[in-house]
Structure 1
Amino acid sequence: MAARYTRRLQKELGEIQRAAPAGLEIGEVTNLEHWTIGVLGAKDTLYEGEKFQLHFKFPTQYPLEAPEVTFVGNHIPMHPHIYSNGHICLSILYDGWSPVLSVQSVCLSILSMLSSSPVKERPADNDTYVKNAKGRSPKDTKWWFHDDKV
């Protein structure tokens, strides 16, 4: 990993370790390329008190290229933009990525997405998508961002 990307990741990791925003907790960091971050459902939302795990996988081109972010573990949130395999349909993880975004801003966007959801349900095409995406990165998907209601 290039020195400037290493510095950026070290800086972001240090910031989260020192003062993680409410609802976020740094988990396992096996190396700078793989992080696990805990997300706690916000109070007065459908996900209140529920705990989820996000896995961040950083490409060598980070922050010029978005990290791969998925929910992992046995408890994947039921949400219209989160597939049962943990893949997340959120524009900032793909076409809407900008190098000014950070791990913290991605986590807060995901937490906001969860908090604003009026229903707990899987995307309508969940079964087909999961079957076709088996063993593939969510970055290999051509996402269609059309629903900003949840």
Structure 2
Amino acid sequence: MASAGGDVTRRLQQELMGIMMGADPGASAFPNDDNLFEWTATLCGSEDTAYEGLTYKLKLVFPDTYPYKAPLITFETPCFHPNVDEHGNICLDILKEKWSSAFSVSTILQSLRSLLADPNNESPLNTEAAQLWADQDKYRQVCKQKYQEGAGEA
């Protein structure tokens, strides 16, 4: 079983190197201190979305069965979004039943940025956000307000 832990460590080290070399300006992730199984990620909202100019902090916790089991990912910065609840939990199929060991931290972060711009209103965790989504002007206003309220708590 020690070999399996070594495999996970090697995989996470490779992914970290890929993130550092890739230099995606909209997303980054790094281990917390010396714990390779807990990372902090930063996600910037894409241009021309309600999240433009906003930066979110996320927590990634990798199981010892990674990459065969998805990491647990939560928003630490409050995020007003149809697929994110008030505790930061995310409803995204690739983090649940559609998970594949081919996914990496980079692909997860790209998927999360896409989700911010294009939510799945068929499966909302935040019904208020899902209902407001159709009115983008109002949605942007509430999104920025909730973000600023959350920034005050941090």
> Same fold by TM-score, threshold 0.5 exceeded?
yes
Aligned length: 123
TM-score (norm 1): 0.74
Give, as a single letter, the amino acid of the residue that structure 1 aligns with 2:66.
Answer: Y
- Name the aligned partner's letter for residue 115 of structure 1: A
Q: Distance in 2 between matches of 1:100 and 1:122?
A: 26
Question: Which runs of 5 or more residues in structure 1 are unaligned?
Answer: 127-150
| C-alpha contact 1:25 1:39 (8 A) present in aligned 2 | yes
Bigger helix share: 2
Structure showing greater radius of gyration is 2
Matched-pair contact (CA < 8 Å) for 2:59–2:74: yes
C-alpha contact 1:46 1:118 (8 A) present in aligned 2 = no
Structure 2 residue aligned with 1:17? 20
Match of 2:68 in 1: 64
Q: Which residue of structure 1 aligns with residue 80 of structure 2?
A: 78
Structure 1 residue 117: deviation in Å?
4.4
Residue of structure 1 in register with 2:91 after alignment:
89
The structure 1 segments of at least 4 consecutive aligned residues displaced by more than 4 Å after TM superposition are none
Counterpart position of 1:48: 52
Q: SS of the residue aligned with 2:116?
A: helix
- Residues 47 and 37 (structure 1), Cα distance of their counterparts in 2 relative to 1, 3 Å cut: same
Verify the 8 A CA contact 1:46 1:117 in the aligned structure 2: no
- Once the two structures are TM-superposed, the CA of residue 28 in structure 1 deviates from its matched residue by 5.1
TM-aligned CA deviation for residue 124 of structure 1 = 2.1
CA RMSD of aligned residues (A): 2.4
Kept in 1: contact 2:62–2:71 (CA 8 A): yes
String of CA shifts for 1:14-60, please: whole Å, max 9, x gaps: 11122232311235532110000100001111100101011110000
Conserved? CA contact 2:31–2:37, under 8 Å: no
Please give the secondary structure, in 1, of the residue aligned with 2:127: coil
Q: Is the 8 A contact 1:81 1:122 kept in 2?
A: yes
Residue in 2 that maps onto 1:146: none
Does 2:40 align with 1:36?
A: yes
Identical-residue share of aligned pairs (%) = 36
Residues 69 and 40 from structure 1, CA distance in 2 versus in 1: closer, same or farther, beyond 3 angstroms? same
